[in-house]
Each structure stands twice: as structure tokens, then as C-alpha cells.
Amino acid sequence: MMKTLTLIWSYLRIDIANELQYRVNFFIQLLQSFIALATGLIGLWLVFNHTTTLAGWTQPELLAVMGVYILVNGIIQAGIQPNMQRLMNEIQDGTLDFALTKPVDGQILVSIREFRFWQLTDVLVGLVVLVIAVFRLQEQFAPLQALAFTFALLLGGIMIYCFWLMLTTTAFWLIRVWELVNLFQGLYAAGRWPISIYPNWLRFGLTFLVPVAFAVTVPAQALTNRLTMMTLPGALGLTIVLMILARLIWRLGVRGYSGASA
């Protein structure tokens, strides 16, 4: 366990040292985060030109949802997506061997090698939005809520990671996985809005197939006092299931892997 953590820290250090050289990238990234934020805010503003609540969520509550969405997106773009992209490329090029022959567990290695430090601007922006939203909520904000929020966020992050890993692992069999990834990235955009607005069949998909609900809506529910007794334990259960499933599929994929023709 300790070894894994030190390894993660090593990779992180390398990336940060690399990216710090390009300070311009930070500003470019920040600018892009702001543009994305502005677009989101305009969307919200437009909605509230026509209505005061959306499926029972008020303005500051919807702002909180958007904040969580941006924050989680930042985490995905910084830590999850780059690793999965690299994994997919290496499976297709047959160069995964290098990663598999290292004395570190393959799954861990392919999941921590890449990191995009400057993408964390989204996390920054998301946090700012959240803070503003929580202020606007004008309710008693108990520390228990913050705890529940962090816990929900953590579970959601792990679920997204497991889901992405399973999706990318299908590249062992399907080769051209890019379009599938594209599809599910589009589905993730559905997380901008609380999933209760979606028709039932879509809601099911957004909860259990693509864990958008758990990544965005549930943490937002934690912040806005909407959590039921069952939600967090349910999330924990689902997370464990997904972790086991992801591990199994990974092992299956690696076993069948032989590398592209020499």
C-alpha cells in the first residue's frame, strides 16, 4: 500500500515538474475553464429566465449541481482520462507490454502514470462555484453535510474510474473503442442537470450504466440536504461491486492479451 502511494507521488511529481515549465498553459487552461463556466452559467440563466425551479431544484441548488459537475470533470480530465487514453493507445499499438512487465501491479500502474496538473483549474473553478452556491443556499450548513459531500464525491470518483477502466479494457477485444468512449463522454454531459429530470429509462442508464448520477447528483444532494438514508450506503455498495467487477475484467483482458503482431 505504502509502495503504491509513493509510486503515485513519484508520477505526480514528474508531471507537475514538467507542467510547471509551461506556465502559459496554466493561463490558457484557466481561460478555457472560465469559458466553460460562462457557457454553463448562461445556460442556467436562460433556464431561469423562464422558470424559478427545475424539477424541484432552486437556483442556488442548480448552481451547486453545476459546481460539482465542473469539479468532477476537472478530476476526470486531470487524472482519469489521460491514463485511460494512454491505456487504449497502448492496447491498440501493442505496446502495453512495457507496463505489464514492471514489478508493479498492472492495473495500478496504468491508472496512475499520467496526470495533467493544469486541468485542475476546473477543480478550482468548481470549488469557487460550490462555495458561492452554498452561501446562496442560506441554510444551516452542517459539518456533517460537508462530510457526506466529500464521501459521496470520493465514491463517485471511484465509480467513474471503475467504469472508465472497464470501458477501456474492452479495447482488448474490440480494438476500436474510441467511438464508445465518445458516446459515454456525451452521456456524462447529462450530469449537468439533476438526473431526476430525465425519463425513467434514461435515469436508469445514468445511474447504473454510466455512474453520472453517483458522480454528480448524489454529492450535490449531499450539499443540498436531499440525501435519503439509503443513498450513501447504496453508493458504497455499488462502488464495491464496481471495483470488483473492474478488477475481474482487467484480469480477464490481460490474460488474453498477446500484443499486436511484431
173 closest CA partner among 102, 250, 230: 250
Quick one: which of 7, 8, 26, 43 contacts another protein (CB under 8 A)? 43
If one asks whether residue 94 binds another protein (CB under 8 A), the answer comes out as: no
Quick one: which of 103, 143, 199, 256 contacts another protein (CB under 8 A)? 199
- Minimum CB separation of residue 193 from another protein in Å reads 6
If one asks whether residue 17 binds another protein (CB under 8 A), the answer comes out as: no
258 closest CA partner among 95, 87, 28: 95
CA distances from 41 to 67, 100, 124, 126, 185 (A): 10, 44, 16, 12, 21
If one asks whether residue 260 binds another protein (CB under 8 A), the answer comes out as: no
Separation of alpha carbons 54 and 7, rounded Å: 45
Quick one: which of 101, 143, 144, 176 contacts another protein (CB under 8 A)? 176
- Residues contacting another protein: total by CB under 8 A: 35
If one asks whether residue 124 binds another protein (CB under 8 A), the answer comes out as: no
- Minimum CB separation of residue 182 from another protein in Å reads 5
Q: Half-sphere exposure of residue 158, counting CA atoms within 13 Å on the CB side?
A: 18
If one asks whether residue 54 binds another protein (CB under 8 A), the answer comes out as: yes
CB 29 within 8 A of CB 36: no
Window of 40-48, 107-115, 145-153, 213-221 that interacts with another protein by CB under 8 A: 40-48
Binding mask 149-168 for another protein (x = CB under 8 A): --------------------
- Minimum CB separation of residue 190 from another protein in Å reads 5
CB 130 within 8 A of CB 67: yes
Cell readout for 61 is 441548488
Buried b vs exposed e over 229-241: b needs ≥16 C-beta within 10 Å? eebbeebeebbee
- Minimum CB separation of residue 192 from another protein in Å reads 7
Window of 32-40, 85-93, 137-145, 229-237 that interacts with another protein by CB under 8 A: 32-40
Q: Which is nearer to another protein, 100 or 180 (CB)?
A: 180
Separation of alpha carbons 14 and 237, rounded Å: 35
